[in-house]
Structure 1
Amino acid sequence: MKKLLTVFIAAIYTLTVSSVYAEYADLPKVTRVLILGNSITFHAKRPSIGWSGNWGMAASTPDNDYVSRLELKMRRKNPNVIVKADNIVRSFENKYWEFDASSVSEYKDFNPDLIIISIGENIRADTAKKYPLYNPMRELITYLRSNNKDIPVVVVSSFWPNLQVDQQLGEFAKKEGLIYVNIGGIYKKNNKNTAFKSFTNPSIQIHPSDKGMKKIANRIWRQVRKVF
């Protein structure tokens, strides 16, 4: 009897896990990943502020930013994965309410089959109240999915605590049926997860350290690995 019960429980577990991943079973294998964000995703070299990197601020090396860590995980699943990551502060985040689709045409032309949007850190709470994010975010993602409206999309919350922005991003993702990743809690342990000990410029210090980047990558990966 005990053996039969164990077999029964195992069967139920298998069915449950299978049902969770069933919605992704018919998706084609992901090979082209588009990651759009701000300075945490990519920041070009700027010696005037003490930043010498050409990768996600404030990782110590390119391999330590969250984009590279994610790419490594993805390539373990599919060695043919191509990742394109860029900063859309000027083309979207700074004035998202005036969004012009032509400014991001190169990303649509990349023909991604997975899109990750990680913005919000540069949006003030009062700005988000005055200019709600829903319609601009919807316009951005609809345009990026012009070639395939069924592309999985991941929306990532702000690294720096921003309740107003994160609520809007979370509600948007839920209503649109997108994947939402909350990374907000990582900043709480800022003595470990930010770069205060590695840089003197305050605008760099508040960015994720190597540990912070690793945690961001891990949280995103837990949500996207099912599509690989």
Structure 2
Amino acid sequence: MWFNCFIIIAVWLSALNLSGSGNHRPTAEPLRVVVLGNSIVAHPPAEELGWLGNWGMAASVRDSDFVHRLERRLHEMNPQGTLEYGSVSGFEREYRHFDLDLLANYRNADILVVKISENVDPDSLGERQFLRHYGQLIDYLAPDNRTAVVICDGFWPSPVNDTIRHFARQRGFDFVQLHDLYTSDSTNSARGLFAHEGVANHPSDRGMAHIADRIWQKLAPHIRQRQLITKNQLSNE
């Protein structure tokens, strides 16, 4: 009798294992997203400016800046995915002499988002060949077609934005327009929330949310596509 019970239990467990393996679905591998920008992406504390945070300038808390809003959405779609971010304001100011190897850790991401413009001198774009150096920046960070590239203009109006938009279109990259957020609605900036004018001109929590929403519209399809490709590859193994 005990022997018969043992046989029944063994068969039942075996059936469970077979059923479980039949329902197994391959999961997408973690995606690596890189976001590069300037103080709107990240700025350390600067007491002389009245800025005490260590995240996107003028956001009230870390989770309210646009980078961390994007990170939460990424994790909803790709729980093990990573979002790396950093400031390349040094490139904006000195792009002719900037050492791109300083950005080596940001190369070859699955998806690259670049949002710069605000610190680029608009009066010497042609003379200093900004477009050529900007192209070299993108090519260094995404040296092959494996990386999906999303290009954003600046939050503030500037002729630099037109140059960046034309570059994105010529290269076939997704482009995200942001500068109209600043001009269309004063509540998108932190004016009145900080005494220092430079800090106050940065995006408020509302502005950060809008920036995240617009970038996400271009970012999400790339995430879905990458996950679909990975799942198909795993299914064929």
TM-score class normalised by the smaller sequence: 0.7 to 0.9
AA at the equivalent of 1:180: F
1:207 is matched with which residue: 202, 207, 210? 202
> Which residue in the other structure is 2:104 paired with?
105
Which runs of no fewer than 5 residues in structure 1 stay unpaired? 1-27
Give the aligned CA root-mean-square deviation in angstroms.
1.6
TM-score, normalization: structure 1?
Answer: 0.81
State whether residues 55 and 62 of structure 2, in contact with CA within 8 Å, keep that contact through their aligned partners in structure 1: yes
1:197 aligns with 2:192: yes
- Provide the secondary structure at the position in 2 that maps to 1:84: strand
TM-score, normalization: structure 2?
Answer: 0.78
1:38 aligns with 2:6: no
Which runs of no fewer than 5 residues in structure 2 stay unpaired? 1-27, 224-237
* Mapped partners of 2:185, 2:102: distance in 1: 34
- Provide the secondary structure at the position in 2 that maps to 1:159: coil
Q: Which has the larger radius of gyration?
A: 2
How many aligned residue pairs are there? 196
* Mapped partners of 1:169, 1:191: distance in 2: 24
Displacement over 3 Å in runs of 4+: none
* Mapped partners of 1:158, 1:34: distance in 2: 17
1:154 aligns with 2:153: no
* Mapped partners of 2:29, 2:187: distance in 1: 36
How far the C-alpha of 1:216 sits from its partner, in A, is: 0.4
1:166 is matched with which residue: 121, 142, 161? 161
* Mapped partners of 1:187, 1:129: distance in 2: 26
1:141 aligns with 2:135: no
Identity %: 34
- Provide the secondary structure at the position in 2 that maps to 1:117: strand
How far the C-alpha of 1:57 sits from its partner, in A, is: 0.7
Offset from partner CA, 1:95-126 (integer Å, 9 cap, x none): 11223222212222xx4111000000011221
* Mapped partners of 1:200, 1:189: distance in 2: 22
* Mapped partners of 1:127, 1:190: distance in 2: 29
